[in-house]
Structure 1
Amino acid sequence: MKEGLIIKLYRERAGLTQTQLGEGICSVTHISKIERGITQYSSEIISLICGRLNIDLNQEMEQYELLEKKLHEWLEVMVKQQLGELETLKEEIENNAYIHLSEVQNSYRILLARYLLTKGNMQKGKEILDSCQQQLGLLDRYEKHLLEHTLGIFYINIGKIKEAIRHLTNINPIEYNNHEFYYHLASAYHMIQAKVKAYHYGNLALSYFRTTNNFKRMLDTETLMLIQMGYNDVYHFEDTVERYHALIKSCKTYQEDVKVVNLWHNLGVDFAAKHLYEEARVAYEKALEGCLMHSLPHIELGARRGIVHCSIHLGDTEKTVLRNHIQLGRKLAKRLNNETYLLVFHLLEIMLIHSQSEAYYHYLETTFLPHLQETGQESLLMIYEKEIFHYYRKSSQYEKAAELADKYMSASL
Structure 2
Amino acid sequence: MIAIGTYIKIQRMKQKMTLGELSEGIVSLSYLSKIENQKTEPHEDILKKLCNRLCITKDQHQDEEIGRLCENWYELLDESNDRQEMEEAYREIQELMDTNYSNHFIMFEIHTIKYFLLIHRTDLAADKIRHLRESAGTFSIEEQYFWNLFNGRYSFFVQNYYHSMYQYKKAEKITESYRLSERIEADLKYYMSMTHSKLRNSLEAIEYAGEALKLYMEQYNFLCCARAHNILGICYCHIKLYEKAIKNFTLGLQLAETIHDKIIIQTIHQNLGYLYASKGDSTKAIAYYKKVLNNPGVPASNKLEVTTLLVREYYHANYYDEAEEYINYGLKQFYDMEDKQPYIVYKYILRSYHYLLEEKFSYFEQLLIDHLLPLLKRQKDYGNYILYSELLAKHYENISNYKNAAQYYREASQTYKHIAHL
Q: Name the TM tier (shorter chain).
A: 0.7 to 0.9
Distance 1:232 1:386 in 2: 16
CA deviations 1:311-341 (Å, max 9, x no partner) are 0001124154244234324324565432222
1:403 pairs with one of 391, 414, 419: 414
Q: 1:33 to 1:377 in 2, by over 3 A?
A: same
Pairing 1:220-259 to 2, within 5 Å after superposition: 220-230=227-237, 237-238=242-243, 240-241=245-246, 243-259=248-264
Distance 1:80 1:399 in 2: 41
Farther off after superposition, 112-121 or 387-396: 387-396
1:344 maps to 2:343? no
Contact (CA 8 Å) 2:205, 2:235: kept in 1 or not? yes
1:372 maps to 2:386? no
Match of 1:78 in 2: 77
Cα distance, 1:223 vs structure 2: 1.0
Q: 1:71 to 1:219 in 2, by over 3 A?
A: same
Q: 1:116 to 1:194 in 2, by over 3 A?
A: same
Q: 1:386 to 1:339 in 2, by over 3 A?
A: closer
Amino acid at match of 1:64: D
Contact (CA 8 Å) 1:244, 1:263: kept in 2 or not? yes
Amino acid at match of 1:198: A
**Which sections of structure 2, spanning at least 5 residues, go unmatched?**
9-25, 27-41, 48-56, 398-404
Q: 1:281 to 1:81 in 2, by over 3 A?
A: closer
Distance 1:324 1:392 in 2: 25
Q: 1:238 to 1:206 in 2, by over 3 A?
A: closer
Distance 2:233 2:96 in 1: 44
Contact (CA 8 Å) 2:246, 2:272: kept in 1 or not? yes
Distance 1:284 1:320 in 2: 16
Amino acid at match of 1:302: E
Contact (CA 8 Å) 1:369, 1:385: kept in 2 or not? no
Cα distance, 1:307 vs structure 2: 0.9
Pairing 1:120-199 to 2, within 5 Å after superposition: 120-171=120-171, 172=173, 173-174=175-176, 175=178, 177=180, 178-179=184-185, 180-199=187-206
Q: 1:103 to 1:368 in 2, by over 3 A?
A: same
Distance 1:245 1:223 in 2: 9
Equivalent position SS for 2:120: coil
Q: 1:282 to 1:384 in 2, by over 3 A?
A: farther
Equivalent position SS for 1:227: helix
1:271 maps to 2:272? no
Distance 2:63 2:261 in 1: 36
Distance 2:87 2:362 in 1: 53
Off by >6 Å, runs of 4+ in structure 1: 33-36
Distance 1:405 1:229 in 2: 17
Cα distance, 1:391 vs structure 2: 6.6
Cα distance, 1:209 vs structure 2: 2.5
Contact (CA 8 Å) 1:277, 1:314: kept in 2 or not? yes
1:287 maps to 2:298? no
Amino acid at match of 2:288: A
Farther off after superposition, 361-370 or 250-259: 361-370
Pairing 1:260-339 to 2, within 5 Å after superposition: 260-290=265-295, 293-318=296-321, 320-332=324-336, 335-337=339-341, 338-339=343-344
Amino acid at match of 1:161: Y
Q: 1:97 to 1:261 in 2, by over 3 A?
A: closer
Amino acid at match of 1:369: L
CA deviations 1:15-69 (Å, max 9, x no partner) are xx9xxxxxxxxxxxxx959999xxxxxxxxxxxxxxxxxx9x9xx6554344334
Cα distance, 1:128 vs structure 2: 1.1
Distance 1:263 1:132 in 2: 36
Equivalent position SS for 1:193: coil
Contact (CA 8 Å) 1:301, 1:332: kept in 2 or not? no
CA deviations 1:358-409 (Å, max 9, x no partner) are 86466434431211222x253xx31331452587697444754542232131
Farther off after superposition, 271-280 or 246-255: 246-255
Farther off after superposition, 102-111 or 177-186: 102-111
Contact (CA 8 Å) 2:249, 2:272: kept in 1 or not? yes
Contact (CA 8 Å) 1:78, 1:86: kept in 2 or not? yes
Cα distance, 1:145 vs structure 2: 2.1
Amino acid at match of 1:146: F
Distance 1:65 1:358 in 2: 67
TM-score (norm 2): 0.72
Distance 1:94 1:298 in 2: 30
1:384 maps to 2:391? no
Pairing 1:64-75 to 2, within 5 Å after superposition: 64-75=63-74
Distance 1:231 1:165 in 2: 19
Amino acid at match of 1:312: Y
Contact (CA 8 Å) 1:186, 1:197: kept in 2 or not? yes
Distance 1:125 1:97 in 2: 18
Contact (CA 8 Å) 2:236, 2:244: kept in 1 or not? no
Distance 1:176 1:345 in 2: 49
**Which sections of structure 1, spanning at least 5 residues, go unmatched?**
9-16, 18-30, 37-54
Amino acid at match of 1:304: T
Distance 2:238 2:268 in 1: 17
Distance 2:347 2:79 in 1: 33
Count, aligned residues: 359
CA deviations 1:87-130 (Å, max 9, x no partner) are 45435534547974374322111112221221122211221121
Contact (CA 8 Å) 1:343, 1:368: kept in 2 or not? yes
Pairing 1:2-21 to 2, within 5 Å after superposition: none
Amino acid at match of 2:199: I
Cα distance, 1:242 vs structure 2: 5.2
Q: 1:288 to 1:111 in 2, by over 3 A?
A: same
RMSD, aligned CA: 3.7
TM-score (norm 1): 0.74
Cα distance, 1:166 vs structure 2: 2.2
Higher relative contact order (CA 8 A, sep 6+): 1
| Structure of greater Rg | 1
